[in-house]
Amino acid sequence: MGKKGDLSNFERGMVVGARRAGLSISQSAQLLGFSHTTISRVYKEWCAKGKTSSMRQSCGRKCLVDARGQRRMGRLIQADRRATLTEITTRYNRGMQQSIWEATTRTTLRRMGYNSRRPHRVPLISTTNRKKRLQFARAHQNWTVEDWKNVAWSDESRFLLRHSNGRVIIWRKQNENMDPSCLVTTVQAGGGGVMVWGMFSWHTLVPLLPIGHRLNATAYLSIVSDHVHPFMTTMYPSSDGYFQQDNAPCHKARIISNWFLEHDNEFTVLKWPPQSPDLNPIEHLWDVVERELRALDVHPTNLHQLQDAILSIWANISKECFQHLVESMPRRIKAVLKAKGGQTPY
């Protein structure tokens, strides 16, 4: 039996073409594989209206949320990005003659291009610091990659022995809520951690320095004199190097500032804008270490193992990786300029 029902516009054109070529209904049905009724109906419609496109109305259930409803739902999303599916549905149904279910809300939002995602974490930037970020970007907007190659980037980071896995979703039955396989254990204060100080430039990755105690001005002065100073004078013998550090209290202490003033003829301390981790490429290297720690087949069970793992991962970061980050600096500066000192995607 041949195909019945409505045909595509292309198939309808084939039917009309066969009949106009002189083929009978039986011959057309045998050639195209359509039923006699379909061949007859399509050709009669063409003779009456001169069109091969289907004049039938589309089948299927009518969409409950029309274009106007989608605009209304879009305004609800814009007003509250953190609203749950239930809240969006409830707010949408207020004042509407026909209510919708949460499933309809979910389908409509997906059709509109909305998806549930974790928000991108960015620092809170005050108005004053936004201006300082913009000033820094304007002062360095003409710097090329060659200029950024003369910068040594530094920072401290702390890695926890046990960290939160974030929001975890599991599948379980109603009576399995206390089953061990459906539980996620938590440890207060993360079970301890390891703090390290790191530095890198376009040319090389400096080995990490573990910090076994709280980093204060005195301890940081030892880092600057024993590690930063020999690196800068060796790597930039022409005194054209820049040392970058953030605005942590121990970095801005008087003894640190005085030390840098005494050595300002050997290298320059980059005047860094506050609340600007997005401008420091070393932040991405910390992310690399964090991801590699999470991906370990055997996770560290004590601080000594954690420290060894951190140092090993850092030492194996490829040269292409950290050089690519330095190459991204002109784009980062442009992003700050575009955001007028605000948050950027970096």
Are 97 and 187 members of one domain? no
Taking CB atoms within 8 Å and a gap of at least 24, the contacts of 59-67 are: 64/98, 64/100, 64/104, 65/100, 65/104, 65/108
User: 196, 211 in Cβ contact below 8 A?
Assistant: yes
Residue 305 lies in a domain: yes
172 and 35 in a single domain? The answer is no
For residue 47, what is the domain's CATH number?
Answer: 1.10.10
Q: What is the tens place of the pLDDT at every residue in 257-268?
A: 999 999 999 999
Q: Which of 121-135, 137-151, 180-194, 309-323 has the lowest mean pLDDT?
A: 180-194
Quote the percentage of the chain above a pLDDT of 90. Answer: 51
| pLDDT (0 to 100) of residue 286 | 96
Instruction: Supply the CATH number for residue 235's domain.
Output: 3.30.420.10
Q: Are residues 178 and 304 in the same domain?
A: yes
The predicted model gives 26-40 an average pLDDT of 85
Mean pLDDT of the chain, nearest integer: 85
Q: What is the pLDDT of residues 144-193, one digit of tens each?
A: 999 999 999 999 999 998 754 444 433 344 554 444 544 444 443 445 88
Domain membership of residue 284 (yes or no) is yes
Q: Is residue 102 located within the same domain as residue 194?
A: no
Q: Are residues 324 and 234 in the same domain?
A: yes
299 in the same domain as 190: yes
> What domain count does the chain have?
3
Together in a domain, 43 and 173: no
Q: Does residue 193 sit in the same domain as residue 283?
A: yes
Q: Do 49 and 72 belong to one domain?
A: no
Domain span holding position 13: 9-58
Same domain flag for 227 and 208: yes
Q: What is this structure's pTM?
A: 0.65
Q: Where are the alpha helices (DSSP H) in the chain?
A: 9-20, 25-32, 36-49, 67-79, 85-93, 102-111, 127-139, 145-148, 217-223, 229-235, 254-262, 282-294, 303-315, 319-327, 329-338
Decide if 81 is inside a domain.
yes
Please indicate, yes or no, if residue 346 is contained in any of the structural domains: no
> Do residues 151 and 261 both lie within one domain?
yes
Residues 47 and 27 in one domain: yes
